[in-house]
Every structure is written in structure tokens, then in C-alpha cells.
Amino acid sequence: MSLLYHLPFSANCRLVRIALAENKVSFRLVVEAIWERRDSFLALNPEGQVPVFINEQNLKICGASVIIEWLDENMDNSLIGSEIDIRCESRRIMNWFLNKFSNEIDNTIVYEKIMKGFIGKGNPDANILRVGRKNLKIHMEYINWLSKNRDWLAGNEFTIADISAAANISIIDYLGEINWKEYSSAKDWYARIKSRPSFRKILEDKIPGLLPPKYYNDLDF
Amino acid sequence: MSLLYHLPFSANCRLVRIALAENKVSFRLVVEAIWERRDSFLALNPEGQVPVFINEQNLKICGASVIIEWLDENMDNSLIGSEIDIRCESRRIMNWFLNKFSNEIDNTIVYEKIMKGFIGKGNPDANILRVGRKNLKIHMEYINWLSKNRDWLAGNEFTIADISAAANISIIDYLGEINWKEYSSAKDWYARIKSRPSFRKILEDKIPGLLPPKYYNDLDF
């Protein structure tokens, strides 16, 4: 059976889990504590990052966007989109989340509130949280604008743009950081994503001692 | 005619220029001072980053990897590779340069030695340069190892892995930061890239007041 090396609260890993589930690929999850820098894991991926996917033919595929492109080329259900223009737009938005959102939110709010505790580096820094929340507002407004003006984030098809955004949002929402009342179009869009079978498993992950808000895995929130 | 919004010393832009030239796509270069955050450029790419490519049908394509995937799907000359495994490996290495190299080298050495001057933020910080140089050694050793063990960086085909690496190396080499004597396999590999017609134009770009080492655009260095 295929394997996915992952971390439950890595947005890039959630993105891949959803995309694999949308393609009905069955796989086993292996949690990889990347900060331990195990030699055998570094031999799989010299960058030392998750996700890494090993398929049934033992092909190793490192990194979220590489796994997505591989799925697109080898599975029936294209998540990148059916036409040239939506393929450019869904990839642009995926990269927005892989790079910009990751730099501005994962490295601030998620690092301070989740990772710091995991690796024993103390309490969240209030100044960094403040910067992260300011950034988050801009991202949420952008998602809200896209959801208001389009059926799905990249256009009229459900694509990897939606999956990337939702994977990231799910982690921030676990931390109770989103005031959904301010973003009604984004809220409707996220409710549609939450109702997909591919997404249900993601919402079951919990951090011991740090529970999500009550509405976290409700479809109606 | 197609347009490429770029900056001459952005590695991601160089990567795209080489890939377009390898595919014999003709295009006009437009320098975009991204730090000015022009409204009409932000309307093209809300992320405010280069490269942005506008093709003859007026399709806008934002970001290096999105342009590369578009080229792969719409041009004859695949630079991602012909088989599943090399396609995974060339994309992995491209992402290594787009993300890891960019974080560790562009944000240290290139920012301190080039960008700071451009945007009037003073002289390079010696401590940051020291960190950047330490990182660069690891990247050069990795490129050297790959070049020693494979025909091209991702395997037996010239791919986007080579283009990504060379685009980044060309900027660091302009700054005289590479001691080629220590990396003989990487040096042979880079000489082969330098001799490609697609690469010659890149080496003609100059920064006023900051000239490259004499060997910079020699094929024999």
C-alpha cells in the first residue's frame, strides 16, 4: 500500500491528503517528526520536509505541488482544472497558499501557537501573533472576495485552489482565529468544502491539550 | 507579442527566460519595479511578484512554476522530463531552488549585496552574509554531488532542474561568491549550461556600478 509521510497540522500535508482522497487513492499515514532529522527520512527527501508520498511502485514523490502534478498526470480526476486558463489560475492560487500564506501565517500564528509547544520553545510571542493576525485578515478578505465573485476559488470548477485554501484555513480555524461573521462568502464556500467526504478525516485530527472551538467540525457553523 | 514582466537579477525570472528561450518562444521583456507596487501590476498579479507572462492570447500566467507547467502542457519541448520518475525529480529540484535556495541565499547574500542598494537600505550586513555563505556551501556541495552522479541534475535528461539551479547560480556567480575550484563536477555541469544559446542572454545583464568577476560569462572559467 502507498504511504504518506506527514504531520497532522501541516497545511501542505492536509492539502495532499484531501487531493489523494478526492482521487480515491488509498494510503497509510506515517507521522514524521521532521525536527528529529532522521537519516532514513533524509535519504527519502534531502530537504527533510513533509509531505513525502511513496506509491505502490515505490516511486517517491517529495513535496505537495510535486504530488499534485503527479496525481494530475496519472489519475482520472484532474484537480488542476480542465482548461488552460483555470489551470493557470488554480496553480497560481495553490502557490499563493504554499508560499505567501505559509510565510505570513504558518510562520507566525501556527508556529507560535502549535509548533513552539511541540518542540519545547515556550509560550507564543504576542507581537508575532499580532503581525500574523494582521496578515490573516488580508488573506481572509481575499478568499472572501474570490468566493463572492466565483463559484469556486479559481473559477467554475472545484480545484486544487480550493483544496489548498481549505487545508490552510482548517488549521487556523482549529486555533479559533477566524471570525466567520466578517466573511460570509468565504463561510459559505468553506461549508461546501467541509461537507466533502475527502475533508472529513482531516477535521478529526486533534492536538492533545489544545482543543478546537465547538463549531470546528460542524458543517453548519 | 508575448510579454514577460521581470527583474534581471531575480532567479525565478531568469529561470523562465531560459525555459521560454529553450522553447523558442519570442517575447518582450518589461522590467517591473515590484517594490513600487503599481496598481496596474497588482491587478495582473495580486501577489505583486515577478515573473508574470502574458501570452499572445492575452492569458496571464503568474509565477515561475505556473509558467513552466503551462509551457510543458502547451509546447513541444518538455523541460520537466519524459518519464514519470524524472518528472517527479525535476520538479522536486525546481522547488528546492524556488523555495529552499531562495530562502537561504536570495534572502541573505542576494538581498544584502544587490537589493539593499537598489532600494536604498544601506550596506550589506556582515553577519547575514556569513550565514548566507555557510548555506551556499551546502547547496554547492549538493549540486556538485548531483552533477558527479548523474548526467544532468535530475537524471539523464536536461530539465527544469538544471535550468532552476543554473538561474540561481548565475546570480551568485555574478557576485563572485562561488569558489569553483572546490566544485569540479558542478563546474563542468555549469560550463555545459553556459554554452546553451538559451543562457547567453542572461549573462549579458549588468548592474551599473557592480561588475561581475572576469570569468562570469566565459564558457571556460
All three cell numbers of A149: 465573485
The rounded distance, in Å, linking the Cα atoms of B45 and B54 is: 11
Q: Are residues B29 and B133 in the same domain?
A: no
Q: Are residues A142 and A195 in the same domain?
A: yes
For helices A160-174 and A184-194, what crossing angle results, to 10°?
Answer: 100
- Shared domain check, B124 and B30: no
Tens digits of residue pLDDT in A11-55: 999 999 999 999 999 999 999 999 999 999 999 999 999 999 999
Report the distance separating Cα B61 and Cα B27, nearest Å: 14
Predicted confidence at residue B28, as pLDDT, reads 98
Same domain, B57 and B165: no
Q: Which of A60, A69, A92 sits opposite B62 (nearest CB)?
A: A92
Q: How many C-beta atoms surround the C-beta of residue A120 within 10 A? A: 6
Out of A46, A66, A142, closest to residue B91 by CB: A66
Query: Is residue A170 domain-shared with residue A114, that is, in the same domain?
Result: yes
Mean pLDDT of chain B: 95
- Please determine, for residue B117, whether its predicted confidence score (pLDDT) is greater than 90: no
One-letter amino acid at A30 equals V
Q: Determine, yes or no, domain membership for B208.
A: no
A45 plus A88 within the same structural domain: no
A98 and A147 in a single domain? The answer is: yes
The percentage of chain B sitting over the pLDDT mark of 70, rounded to a whole number, equals 100
Inform me whether the pLDDT recorded for B195 exceeds 90.
yes
Q: How far apart are CA A104 and CA A101, in angstroms?
A: 5
> What distance in Å separates the CA atoms of residue B96 and residue B6, rounded to the nearest whole number?
21
Q: What is the pTM of this model?
A: 0.96
Query: Amino acid identity, residue B174?
Result: Y
Residue A210 in any domain: the answer is: no
**Which residues of chain A have a CB within 8 Å of the CB of B99?**
99
Q: Among partner residues A60, A70, A91, which is closest to B69 by beta-carbon distance?
A: A91
Please tell me the distance in Å from A61's CA to the nearest CA on chain B: 6
> Using an 8 Å Cβ cutoff, are A12 and A34 in contact?
no
Are A108 and A162 in the same domain? yes
Q: Which residue of A has its CA nearest to B99?
A: A99
Is the Cβ–Cβ distance between A201 and A135 less than 8 Å? no
- For CA atoms A10, A141, A136, B59, the dihedral sign is positive
Strand order in the sheet with A27-31: A27-31, A2-6, A52-54, A60-62
**B84 contacts in A (CB within 8 Å)?**
59, 70, 73-74
Does B59 fall in a domain?
yes
Task: Please write the tens of the pLDDT for every residue from B49-103.
Answer: 999 999 999 999 999 999 999 999 999 888 999 999 999 999 999 999 999 999 8
Exposed, middle or buried by CB within 10 Å (0-12, 13-18, 19+), for B62?
buried
Percentage of residues in chain A with pLDDT exceeding 90? 89
Cβ contact B64:B17 at 8 Å: no
Mutation site for A-interface testing, chosen from B90, B95, B145, B159 by largest number of A Cβ within 10 Å: B95
Whether the pLDDT of residue A119 is over 90: the answer is no
Cell of A215: 463549531
- pLDDT value of residue A218: 86
Q: Coil, strand or helix: which one is A117?
A: helix
Q: What are phi and psi of A2, to 5 degrees?
A: -70, 155
Residue B119 has pLDDT above 90, yes or no: no
pLDDT confidence of residue A116: 87
CATH of the domain at B27: 3.40.30.10
Count of residues making up chain A: 221
Q: What is the pLDDT of residue B118?
A: 78
Q: How many CB atoms lie within 10 A of CB B195?
A: 11
Query: CA torsion sign, A25 to A26 to A30 to A31?
Result: positive
For residues A60 and B34, what is the distance between their CA atoms, to the nearest angstrom?
Answer: 37
Full residue range of the structural domain in which residue A141 is found: 84-204
Evaluate whether residue A79 is within a structural domain. no
Nearest to A16 by CA among A75, A87, A58, A57: A75
| Domain membership flag for residue A219 | no
Residues in chain B: 221
Share of chain A above pLDDT 70, in %: 100
Question: How far is the C-alpha of B44 from the C-alpha of B104, rounded, in Å?
Answer: 28
Both A14 and A100 in a single domain? no
Cβ atoms B57, B17 nearer than 8 A: no
pLDDT surpassing 90 at residue A209: no
Confidence of residue B136 (pLDDT cuts 50, 70, 90): very high
Contact list, A62 vs chain B (CB under 8 Å) = 88, 92
- For residues B107 and B131, state if they share a domain: yes
Are B91 and A46 in contact (CB < 8 Å)? no
Residue B31 contacts residue B23 (beta carbons within 8 Å)? no
ipTM score for this prediction: 0.95
pLDDT at A145: 98
Helix or strand run (H / E) with residue A7: none
Into how many domains does chain A fold?
2
Q: Are B102 and A98 in contact (CB under 8 A)?
A: no
Instruction: Quickly list DSSP for chain A.
Output: -EEEEE-TT-HHHHHHHHHHHHTT--EEEEE--GGG--HHHHHH-TT--S-EEE-TT--EEESHHHHHHHHHHHSSS-SS-SSHHHHHHHHHHHHIIIIIIIIIIIIIIIIIIIIHHHTT--SPPHHHHHHHHHHHHHHHHHHHHHHHHSSBTTBSS--HHHHHHHHHHHHHHHTT---GGG-HHHHHHHHHHHTSHHHHHHHH--BTTBPPPTTTT-S--
In a shared domain, residues B89 and B183:
yes
pLDDT at A115 over 90: no
Both B62 and B138 in a single domain?
Answer: no
What is the mean pLDDT of the segment spanning A97-108? 93
At B220, the pLDDT band (50, 70, 90 cuts) reads confident
B15 in a structural domain = yes
Which residue of A59, A62, A88 is in closest CB contact with B59?
A88
Q: In this predicted model, what pLDDT tens digit does every residue of A127-177 receive, in sequence order?
A: 999 999 999 999 999 999 999 999 999 999 999 999 999 999 999 999 999
